Amino acid sequence: MEIVGRIAIPGGGEFDHAAVDLDSGRVFVAHPGAGTIAVLDAEAMVVRTTIGGCPGASGVVCDTEHGLVAAASRSGGHVLLIDGTSLEVRSQVKVGPAPNGLAFDIGRQRLLVTDVQTHEAHLIDPERGQVVATRPLPGRPRWAVHDPQAQLFYVNIISPAQVLMLDSQTFAPCGAWDVPAEGPHGLDLDPQRRLVLVACDSGVLVGLDADSGAEQGRLTLPGAPDVTFHNPLTRECYVGVGDPGTVVVADTETWTTVEGQATELGAATFAFDSRRQLLHALLPASGQDLLLRCGAARARYPA
């Protein structure tokens, strides 16, 4: 990876999840202490604006196709639905007391929200700004993703260590895969290889077959992980590790570490812009977004 810039984020301190609008390249950063979503302009290298009303800001996801951004307020018990172009808040949807994990079903225009206090999953209809279904979960959830091919939501559960599957049409549970490591945390999907990538608190990245749940490989990490993203161009997986402060670049075909990009102690979260091949590492101590150009030179597959 190559450092290509830095954006100072006023207020510094703790950052949680972040997401990129692929059309504009804007980065939406959860700033829990400030109770805001910071909107970064990666081209101009500035903070474009901040959006309030999000105390304990946690999960953030973008639906670029429909111009929508969702941000979870873990202290406010609601989700903000933000217009990705105007940056105006379209609606504020009350959910459980501590929403965190989010995932869009872009085809059906539905939003999954998981709650780390009640251990429930909620399904939001963004157009109506309402919760349309709620399901109990078997334990405390972490992150979630949607699989458009299988029409499933995958939800990491800390204990029992598993990936739970929810049917994205009926929102009914339809199975779970045991994760052979403690504390499933970061989660993403390699749709081409049908691989569910699970980064676990025990310091291991595990790959599960998306159709059977069978383990396909594993890689030891230098510490407990957090955010995890798959790069479809290189078929690599990026994993944020706050201590020692690094982004691990993992080859999930050979299950080897390609690179360890130093960030900053405590920097465990980032956003990934797959279109521009930019990784936005969030540095809490220095209050910055560290922009890293990813290894497009290693690309083995068509963009």
User: Could you tell me which of 51, 79, 68, 129 has the C-alpha nearest to residue 104?
Assistant: 68
User: Could you tell me which of 178, 171, 146, 134 has the C-alpha nearest to residue 65?
Assistant: 146
The pLDDT tens digits for 75-87 are 999 999 999 999 9
pTM: 0.95
Q: In the 3-class helix/strand/coil scheme, how is the chain assigned residue by residue?
A: CEEEEEEECCCCCCCCCEEECCCCCEEEEEECCCCEEEEEECCCCEEEEEECCCCCEEEEEEEHHHCEEEEEECCCCEEEEEECCCCCEEEEEECCCCEEEEEEECCCCEEEEEECCCCEEEEEECCCCEEEEEEECCCCEEEEEEECCCCEEEEEECCCCEEEEEECCCCCEEEEEECCCCCEEEEEEECCCCEEEEEECCCEEEEEECCCCCEEEEEECCCCEEEEEEECCCCEEEEEECCCCEEEEEECCCCEEEEEEECCCCCCCEEEECCCCEEEEEECCCCEEEEEECCHHHCCCCC
Amino acid 296: pLDDT: 60
Torsion angle, CA of 203/205/211/212, rounded to 10 degrees? -50
The pLDDT tens digits for 136-165 are 999 999 999 999 999 999 999 999 999 999
Amino acid 251: pLDDT: 96
173 domain-assigned: yes
235 domain-assigned: yes
What do you get for the CA distance between the two ends of the chain, in Å? Answer: 18
Domain that holds residue 85: 2-298
Least confident of 11-20, 189-198, 275-284: 11-20
Dihedral sign, CA of 31, 34, 40, 45?
A: negative
User: Could you tell me which of 47, 15, 18, 8 has the C-alpha nearest to residue 34?
Assistant: 15
303 domain-assigned: no
117 domain-assigned: yes
Query: 250 pLDDT band (50/70/90 cuts)?
Result: very high
154 domain-assigned: yes
Give the mean pLDDT of the chain: 95
18 domain-assigned: yes
Total number of domains in the chain: 1
What CATH number did the domain enclosing 229 receive? 2.130.10.10
Query: 295 pLDDT band (50/70/90 cuts)?
Result: confident
Query: 13 pLDDT band (50/70/90 cuts)?
Result: confident
238 domain-assigned: yes
Strands across the sheet with 173-178, in order?
141-147, 152-157, 162-167, 173-178
Beta bridge partners of 125: 130
188 domain-assigned: yes
